[in-house]
């Protein structure tokens, strides 16, 4: 029997069915007409809480059926009036939505806002542990609100969501592909939507190099939409050989933290659709935690992350770190080093200026990295790898517990300009993954003896001894796309300021 959210490989790897795709498109079309939803972020946010409740209903039904077959009584998490079948999709004898009993209009909107959300938020106080599904329910519905202002639009969206099925691993696999597409589209929607999406081909290459094993604990302290954790689950789930392996992957493998409310909810929903029943994601500001309190039991075998960069943290947050800086990415890098166990492995995305910045924090952090970890690989990513990002990035691969002896560099060059219509793909990274296994030299790769690194500046700049210019000229369309993204962000900030002084 298939249970929603349980592990198990999809029956096949086909693209989503036209029916599922059309349902998602219909939902977005309805939300586009509603006064309370103004962007792709709103569409994804509102789809997420409704998908979650539909999923929860499917999960509870399957568990109730399992209990009945075993002669047990199942205790539902939700009281009867708040179950999907009662308020969202009551059915007639033919299994169709009974519109004589289904709420709509103001009655539906008022029930959702005044009764459903407060009831579900209350689960946070009742839960026995933050790792329980009850706690996740409470967190989600304490952070979000229903933005769909028209109860008639809400009814139309609910009817479309009810068409979706979580009943098989194929269904969930298709839904996860569609949901990933929604997250990717958020990158062009303003309001920092791009923070939530790291190109999946890059994530998969990072995972192949780190090569996690079943039984190892994997962590992302800035998990956003949980792309690293979802891809790591897919990678390991294909290797699961027993129910014991599946249980380890469900309960004791993937851990994340996320500061922003919307990203937290999207991350949970993304992991659920990929097959994790009760994701171990905590809603918290990772950097506000006292780093000196991290003990051996809190450490992880693997860290995979793309922490936000360019942000600034308050002075009191900086006090938590030995190397004090306002740059969020540099604080996260310290946190990740501290969070790794001895022998633990990491792959971290960071802006490429980290390799050569001359400020005290950058120099001290490079020194810490080289002396406490084996920084064995640096992947230099081309412009356009991250849509809308105005900086270039590198990926640092390191192992904690021994100093760096040699660093292998690889300059990724897909032979074309990357952009919205021409994104990074798995084939672009295939050579990197293959050459990295033996740290082989090539026209794009070379090794540097750590003994030759300047002991004062610890400069790690990417300098290809095999030739090839470092300047990559972007196409006019890429430059215009970046200008448009920056204009949209500026307009959003100005709108918020006007709202404050109005």
Q: What is the pLDDT along the chain (502 residues), one digit of tens a residue?
A: 333 333 333 333 445 556 788 898 999 999 999 999 988 888 989 999 999 999 899 889 989 999 999 999 999 999 999 999 999 999 998 888 898 899 999 999 999 999 999 999 999 998 888 778 888 899 889 888 999 999 999 999 999 999 988 777 777 778 888 888 888 877 555 445 446 578 999 999 999 999 999 999 999 999 998 999 999 999 999 999 999 999 999 999 999 999 988 889 889 989 988 888 889 999 999 999 988 899 999 999 999 999 988 777 888 899 999 999 989 999 999 999 999 999 999 999 999 999 999 999 999 999 999 999 999 999 999 988 886 666 789 999 999 999 999 999 999 999 888 887 888 999 999 999 999 999 999 999 999 999 999 999 999 998 888 865 444 444 566 566 667 766 766 776 666 666 666 5
> Is 349 in contact with 203 (CB distance < 8 Å)?
no
Can you give the pLDDT at residue 482?
Answer: 65
**What pLDDT sits at residue 496?**
65
Task: Give pTM, 2 decimals.
Answer: 0.83
- Residue-level pLDDT at 488: 67
**What is the three-state SS of 352-365?**
HHHHCCCCHHHHHH
- 342: its two tokens: 């001895």
Distance of CA 234 to the CA centre of its chain: 14
Strands lying side by side in the sheet with 445-449: 280-283, 254-258, 218-220, 300-305, 340-351, 393-400, 373-380, 406-411, 445-449
Cα separations in angstroms, 383 against 344, 452, 457: 30, 28, 26
Q: Are 49 and 141 in contact (CB under 8 A)?
A: yes
For residue 477, the model assigns a pLDDT of: 60
pLDDT of residue 9: 37
C-alpha span between 349 and 363 (Å, rounded): 18
Per-residue model confidence (pLDDT) at position 463? 84
Helix (H, G, I), strand (E, B) or coil at 400: strand
The beta-carbon contacts of 475-480 under 8 Å, at least 24 apart in sequence, are 475/417, 475/419, 477/419, 478/383, 478/384, 478/417, 478/418, 478/419
Q: What is the pLDDT of residue 181?
A: 82
Residue 224 region, left (φ>0) first, then alpha (ψ -120 to 50), else beta?
left
- Give the pLDDT of residue 443: 94
d(CA 103, CA 100): 8
Supply the pLDDT for residue 277: 81
pLDDT for position 180: 84
């Amino acid at each position: 029997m298939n249970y929603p959210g349980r592990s198990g490989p999809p029956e096949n790897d086909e693209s989503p069915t036209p029916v599922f795709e059309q349902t998602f498109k219909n939902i977005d079309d309805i939300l586009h007409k509603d006064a309370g939803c103004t962007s792709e972020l709103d569409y994804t946010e509102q789809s997420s809480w409704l998908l979650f409740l539909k999923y929860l209903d499917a999960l509870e039904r399957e568990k109730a059926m399992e209990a009945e077959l075993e002669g047990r009584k199942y205790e539902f998490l939700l009281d009867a009036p708040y179950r999907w079948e009662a308020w969202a999709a009551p059915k007639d004898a033919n299994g169709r939505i009974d519109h004589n009993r289904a709420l709509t209009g103001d009655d539906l909107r008022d029930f959702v806002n005044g009764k459903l959300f407060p009831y579900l938020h209350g689960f946070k106080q009742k839960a026995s542990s933050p790792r329980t599904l009850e706690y996740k329910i409470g967190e989600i519905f304490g952070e979000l609100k229903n933005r769909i202002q028209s109860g008639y639009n809400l009814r139309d969206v609910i009817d479309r969501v009810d068409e979706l099925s979580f009943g098989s691993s194929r269904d969930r696999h298709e839904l996860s592909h569609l949901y990933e597409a929604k997250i990717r589209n958020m990158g062009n929607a303003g309001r920092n939507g791009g923070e939530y999406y790291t190109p999946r081909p890059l994530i998969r290459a990072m995972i192949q190099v780190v090569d996690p094993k079943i039984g190892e604990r994997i962590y992302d302290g800035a998990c956003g939409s949980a792309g690293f954790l979802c891809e790591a689950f897919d990678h390991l789930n294909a290797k699961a050989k027993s129910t014991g392996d599946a249980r380890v992957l469900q309960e004791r493998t993937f851990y994340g933290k996320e500061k922003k409310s919307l990203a937290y909810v999207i991350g949970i929903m993304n992991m659920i659709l990929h097959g994790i029943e009760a994701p171990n994601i905590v809603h918290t500001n990772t950097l506000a935690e006292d780093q000196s309190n991290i003990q051996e039991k809190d450490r992880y075998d693997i860290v995979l992350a793309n922490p936000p960069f360019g942000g600034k943290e308050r002075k009191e947050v900086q006090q938590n770190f030995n190397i004090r800086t306002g740059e969020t990415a540099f604080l996260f890098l310290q946190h990740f080093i501290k969070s790794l166990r001895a022998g633990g492995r990491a792959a971290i995305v960071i802006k490429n200026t980290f390799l050569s910045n001359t400020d005290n924090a950058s120099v001290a952090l490079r020194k810490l990295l080289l002396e406490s970890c084996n920084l064995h690989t640096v992947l230099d990513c081309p412009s356009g790898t991250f849509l809308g990002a105005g900086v270039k990035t590198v990926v640092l691969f390191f192992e904690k517990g021994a100093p760096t002896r040699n660093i292998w560099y690889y300059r990724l060059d897909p032979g074309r300009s990357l952009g919205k219509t021409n994104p990074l793909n798995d084939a672009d990274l295939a050579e990197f993954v293959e050459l990295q296994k033996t740290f082989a030299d090539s026209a794009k790769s070379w090794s540097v003896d750590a003994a030759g690194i300047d002991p004062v500046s610890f400069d790690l700049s990417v300098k290809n001894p095999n030739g090839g210019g470092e300047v990559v000229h972007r196409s006019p369309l890429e430059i215009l796309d970046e200008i448009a993204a920056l204009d949209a962000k500026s307009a959003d900030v100005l709108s918020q300021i006007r709202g404050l002084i109005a």
